[in-house]
Amino acid sequence: MSIESQNVTDYPNSNTIFMVWKLHENASQLKDVFQRLCALMLNLNNSAFNRFPDSRASGVMGIGYEAWKKLELPTPMPKELACFEEIRGDKHTAVSTPGDLHFHLRADNQSLIFDMSIEISKLLNPVAESILEIHGFKYWDARSILGFVDGTENPHGEDREYFAKIGEEDLQYKGGSYLFVQKYLHNMAAWKSLSTEDQEKVIGRSKENDIEMSDEVKPANSHIALANIEGENGEELKIIRDNMPFGNPSTNEFGTYFIAYASTFTTINKMLTNMFVGNPPGNYDRILDFSTAKTGTLFFVPTRNMLDDFAG
């Protein structure tokens, strides 16, 4: 049987709903609900594709470390699935927050993911609590609220598959993905107090045309300099970012939901260490002076085959 992954390599689109749920302790219906949830996720994806093939609609479910144990899912676990440990730098911290199930719902038509989220919530409400829900949207030409294009370094083609999905190194979970998420809030007043030139130095790219600065000009503490990482032998390491902006103008809350799929969590962890601790230590990512991580949770995204098995 061929391995079918969930839609982790889909490209960002116009509308997204992110949901994080925490399972109740000792819920008698938990395993039954989880079985039905796995079947529901397969059904929602198939139905959306058949009914609205041009909508680019999909729903991806991730499972956290504690939930994996509570649901008594297969052992050994995926090799790098664990509770995320906070990364504390001298000034900024990548916090660790709880989360058992994560849902990433996206479509060009907002109605589709709205209905998806209703069906998921109806099923989960008796056995779990929703602890985070964010409605993201495409901002102009794929820019963050900070005004810069986001996700330029994402891989494409075969590289997208390679960097997003687990390969031969963990055969039991081949085709699955590690999913890491953070909710960032931006200090827009402080950000807007910078000149465009100074903002560009923080990011490492031009604001208007999204052109990366040369190595000679790019500051060592710019976001691009620290978030783009290499392996021990100088090989390029990539993740699949599907970040989306969100905001509530009336409450002055503006942010970015950082979401990354990867074949190995080690890659994501190295990037976060560069950003929060610094490379070298102390040379932290300057964007963190304007963007605060409020959450940080690691999940594993099983294949569609595994969801089918879990559904029974």
Q: What is the pLDDT of residues 97-111, one digit of tens each?
A: 999 999 999 999 999
Percent of the chain with pLDDT over 70: 100
What are the two backbone dihedrals, phi and then psi, of residue 81, each rounded to the nearest 5 degrees?
A: -80, 125
What 8-state DSSP symbol labels residue 172?
Answer: G
What 8-state DSSP symbol labels residue 3?
Answer: -
Is 292 within a domain?
yes
Q: Are 5 and 56 in contact (CB under 8 A)?
A: no
What whole-number distance in Å separates Cα of residue 244 and Cα of residue 234?
A: 30
Given this model, what pLDDT does residue 28 score?
A: 87
Given this model, what pLDDT does residue 26 score?
A: 83
What whole-number distance in Å separates Cα of residue 69 and Cα of residue 71?
A: 5
- The arithmetic mean of pLDDT across residues 263-270, rounded, is 98
What's the half-sphere exposure (Cβ side, CA atoms, 13 Å) at 94? Answer: 24
Given this model, what pLDDT does residue 87 score?
A: 98
Given this model, what pLDDT does residue 110 score?
A: 95
Is 8 within a domain?
no
Which of 16, 305, 38, 282 lies closest to 134, judged by CA?
A: 16
B/e letters for 182-198, b = 16+ CB within 10 Å, e = fewer, are: bbbbbebeebeeeeeee
Given this model, what pLDDT does residue 1 score?
A: 73
Residue 189 vs residues 138, 146, 154: alpha-carbon distances, Å: 22, 11, 29
Is 234 within a domain?
yes
Identify the active-site residue in 10, 115, 150, 308: 150
Q: Are 224 and 218 in contact (CB under 8 A)?
A: yes
Percent of the chain with pLDDT over 90: 95
Is 110 within a domain?
yes
242 included as an active-site residue: no
**Average pLDDT score over the chain:** 97
Is 97 within a domain?
yes
Given this model, what pLDDT does residue 231 score?
A: 87
Residue 310 vs residues 43, 69, 169: alpha-carbon distances, Å: 14, 14, 23
Alpha carbon of residue 237 to chain centroid: 17
In which domain, by residue range, is 164 found? 15-311
Is 2 within a domain?
no
Give tens-digit pLDDT for 180-227: 999 999 999 999 999 999 999 999 999 999 999 999 999 999 999 999
- The arithmetic mean of pLDDT across residues 118-134, rounded, is 98
Count of beta carbons in the 10 Å neighbourhood of residue 141:
7
Name the pairing type of β-strands 93-94 and 240-241: unpaired
Given this model, what pLDDT does residue 233 score?
A: 85
The model scores a pTM over 0.75: yes
Would you place residue 56 in the very low, low, confident or very high pLDDT band (cuts 50, 70, 90)? very high
What are the two backbone dihedrals, phi and then psi, of residue 39, each rounded to the nearest 5 degrees?
A: -65, -40
Is 4 within a domain?
no
Which of 127, 101, 119 lies closest to 28, judged by CA?
A: 127
Is 10 within a domain?
no
- Domain count across the chain: 1
Would you place residue 27 in the very low, low, confident or very high pLDDT band (cuts 50, 70, 90)? confident
B/e letters for 3-22, b = 16+ CB within 10 Å, e = fewer, are: eebbbbbbebbebbbbbbbb
Given this model, what pLDDT does residue 153 score?
A: 93
- The arithmetic mean of pLDDT across residues 220-240, rounded, is 93
Would you place residue 23 in the very low, low, confident or very high pLDDT band (cuts 50, 70, 90)? very high
Q: At what angle do helices 304-311 and 30-51 cross, to 10 degrees?
A: 130
